[in-house]
Amino acid sequence: MISRRDFVGGAATAALGYGATTAARANAASETTLAEAGEAAGLLYGASISEEAFADPDYFALYDRETRILTTDVALKFDWLRPSPDRFEFERADAIVAAAAKSGKLVRGHTLIWNDNAPEWLKRLSAREVERVFDRHIEVVVTRYAGRLHSWDVVNEPFWPMDGEQGGWRNGPWFAAMGPSYVERAFRRTAAIDKTAKLTLNEAQCEGDHDWGRAIRPPLARLVDDLLARDVPLHAVGFQSHLQPQWPADYAQFASWAAGFGAKGLEIYLTEFDVDDQSFPDDPAARKAAVAQTGAKFLGAILKTRAVKMLVNWQLSDRYSWYRELWRRRAPASRRKPSPLPFDDRLEPNPLHAAMIGSFLAR
């Protein structure tokens, strides 16, 4: 373990002055792992993981070295788990939980309830049937992993103003059948079965200072107050942290707003961190430097909040980022490849890696 004191000089400088960073400093930064630097900063560091890691031993080894906690990327999403009404396909999630246990890592379950990712069969059911599926899904899935997860994203993305629902709620089968009460129901039913997982309300877009972020923050804060006032077992708020620097952002303002959840006794998790580089230059080196700078700016602001206990990247290497697929769809003719993560295609550290370590150790 490299101590915070030994390390803080080199890595912090590397992150701050990225444009002028020497190769020597970058190398020094890449010698420590994100897990180690996170630990020195009181931060649990991890990444989401999917089947690709099990088919690519080098990628798997990177998780082994760099992370302390793994998030099930798609494995526990409703449509992946429930291709038909009577099937629960647990193989993917079981493999992640078993691998984590073997290497002493923690696991986050993502996501138990989400109004997105509904299979066609669910959409065809009546409201009463949807409620029954909801309760049974929670019972079966939570029971299977009870006591083995660090935390559960019990509800993902409760708000989605674009759906046009009053109050900004995200629409979908659960909301349509139960209205806003599905949130409380999910938390209470999960807590009744799993007594140790930290139960998390995970939300998107709050990091940005754009119409979307501004529309979601107030109802999210009201929902949290309401749940706490009624003693609903809620332990943490998750901010996805898919940074989109093409839109306005004020990370200091986000950080002071987020700190309010800490003041209510909740932990704060940054659950899906990556940096969308679509507005940055084509030149890969310039683009990666801009990604690192954005990451350092965000982390520099939000990590001042002591209630932030965890940072998770959405995958670990650019090779497997969800932005690759989004980019292929958005710009099929482009040869440019998004680079939103701490490791590049060859699994070598990107400038973002050193920037993250610098931000952790400057905490």
Residue ranges in contact with ligand XIL by CB under 6 A: 73-74, 156, 204, 240, 272, 322
Q: Which amino acid is at 287?
A: R
Nearer to ligand XIL, 204 or 312 (CB): 204
Closest distance to ligand XIL from the beta carbon of 176 (Å): 20
d(Cα 302, Cα 311) in Å, to the nearest integer? 11
Asked if 92 and 75 count as a contact pair (C-beta separation under 8 A), the reply is yes
- What CA–CA distance (Å, rounded) separates 170 from 81? 21
- DSSP label at 350? P
SS3 18: helix
Q: What are phi and psi of 60, to 5 degrees?
A: -60, -40
The answer to whether residues 356 and 295 touch, using CB atoms and an 8 Å cutoff, is yes
The tokens describing 35, both together, are: 């897990």
Opening angle at CA 305, ends 304 and 309, nearest 5: 110
Residue 109, strand partner residues:
152
Q: How far apart are CA 289 and CA 351, in angstroms?
A: 6
Residue with tokens 């929902």: 223
From the CB of 274, what's the least distance to ligand XIL, in Å? Answer: 9
Distances from the Cα of 177 to the Cα of 180, 201, 334, angstroms: 9, 20, 42
* CB-count exposure of residue 113 (10 Å: 0-12, 13-18, 19+): buried
